[in-house]
């Protein structure tokens, strides 16, 4: 075992996290769900979602049998919804191709939708105690700083060097503990800003610390201007209901239920064409800005009040009238949920 791994494990024995929900009653399924949720999302955010998700879908067969709407509903608010769609598809593959048993080889795991090399390695090391290196965002930061590997990890050259170092340090024994320790180290000490170098178990030979350049590693993605896009969303309201449409599988919020977006038609034309109903009153709300990783979206909400005959128009396959006091028909994107809650609150205030 390398000196690096020995020090990391000694630190983990004293300070590592052992009370996370997916560390209890460990199964490949629970580890897998947690690893997908933890992609680009912090532990504190994931915990309540994980608990609700595995309560509803306790094993891979339950997840495979579920409707996508149910899966997205349990994921709603966690973001990056392609993760949920891929998790659902992968569960169906595991159920159908592997008989409901999660595969135990790296190559097989990497064939599942939504699972790359690092996620596969993490699942196999944590659930099966197999020796595989991992390279999630936290581990990249620890290794880039310790070895002073310059450049943005998104480039092939830097990624290759980080994988080489990750493989070099991964021990033959206690690999599950080491994997968890490296993730913990990056999440709790070697943080993106204000790292606690004085408490780090590998600080003595950390090259970036010795150069007093910890903040320079890892290299940042080259900045580019974040584009701004705009859209108009219609909150068509009748009889305490709001009209929703299911979004296409591809693109943002794929498969989620959403407010319709206005095209080149006027609001009146849209109401006549889509709902076969005339608007009795329209009311624009303040613009709502929603930020994605690669662009900002300004949403202009327009509330459209309709007469009662509108509520029979939609079909439940891709269009539905949603009663504001009921459970949503499936997953809702965060800004859509926010606008619907605002409509519900205003309706309730009106009827008080």
Residues with a known catalytic role: 35
Question: In sequence order, which residues have a C-beta less than 8 Å from that of residue 310 and are 6 or more positions away?
Answer: 236, 238, 243, 275, 276, 277, 321
Closest CA to 330 of 15, 77, 50, 23: 77
Closest CA to 122 of 190, 37, 59: 37
**CA-based radius of gyration for the chain:** 24
* Residues 146/59, Cβ–Cβ less than 8 Å: no
Closest CA to 38 of 190, 218, 187, 249: 187
Give SS3 for 115.
coil
With tokens 């509803």, the residue in question is 56
* Residues 144/218, Cβ–Cβ less than 8 Å: yes
What's the farthest any 2 CA atoms get from each other in the chain?
74
| Structure tokens belonging to residue 148 | 């002073």
Question: In sequence order, which residues have a C-beta less than 8 Å from that of residue 164 and are 6 or more positions away?
Answer: none
Measured distance CA(127)–CA(82) in Å, rounded:
24
Closest CA to 60 of 35, 85, 80, 87: 87
Q: Which stretch of DSSP H or E encloses residue 241?
A: strand 241-246
Peptide bond before residue 218 is cis, with ω within 30 degrees of 0: yes
């Amino acid at each position: 075992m390398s000196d690096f791994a020995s020090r990391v494990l000694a630190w983990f024995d004293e300070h590592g996290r052992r009370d996370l929900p997916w560390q209890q009653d460990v199964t490949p399924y629970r580890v897998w769900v947690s690893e997908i949720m933890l992609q680009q999302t912090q532990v504190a955010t994931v915990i309540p979602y994980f608990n609700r998700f595995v309560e509803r879908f306790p094993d891979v067969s339950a997840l495979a049998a579920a409707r996508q709407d149910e899966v997205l509903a349990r994921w709603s608010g966690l973001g990056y919804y392609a993760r949920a769609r891929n998790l659902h598809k992968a569960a169906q593959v595991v159920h159908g191709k592997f008989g409901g048993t999660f595969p135990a080889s790296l190559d097989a795991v990497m064939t599942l939708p939504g699972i790359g090399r690092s996620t596969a390695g993490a699942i196999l090391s944590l659930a099966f105690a197999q020796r595989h290196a991992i390279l999630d965002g936290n581990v990249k930061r620890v290794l880039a700083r310790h070895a002073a590997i310059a450049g943005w990890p998104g480039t092939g050259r830097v990624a290759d060097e980080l994988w080489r170092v990750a493989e070099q340090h991964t021990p033959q024994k206690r690999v599950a503990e080491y994997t968890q320790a490296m993730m913990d180290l990056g999440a709790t000490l070697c943080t993106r800003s204000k790292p606690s170098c004085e408490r780090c178990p590998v600080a003595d030979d950390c090259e970036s610390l010795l150069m007093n350049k910890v903040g320079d590693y890892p290299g940042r993605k080259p900045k580019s201007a974040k584009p701004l896009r705009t859209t108009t969303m219609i909150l068509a309201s009748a009889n305490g209901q709001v009209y929703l449409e299911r979004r296409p599988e591809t693109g943002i919020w794929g498969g989620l239920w959403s407010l319709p977006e206005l095209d080149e038609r006027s609001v009146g034309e849209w109401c006549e064409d889509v709902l076969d109903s005339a608007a009795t009153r329209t009311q624009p709300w303040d613009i709502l800005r929603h930020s994605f990783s690669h662009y900002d979206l300004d949403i202009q909400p327009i509330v459209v009040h309709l007469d009662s005959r509108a509520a029979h128009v939609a079909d439940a396959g891709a269009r539905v009238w949603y009663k504001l006091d009921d459970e949503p028909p499936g997953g809702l994107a965060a800004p859509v949920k926010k606008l619907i809650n605002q409509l519900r609150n205003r309706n309730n205030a009106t009827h008080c």
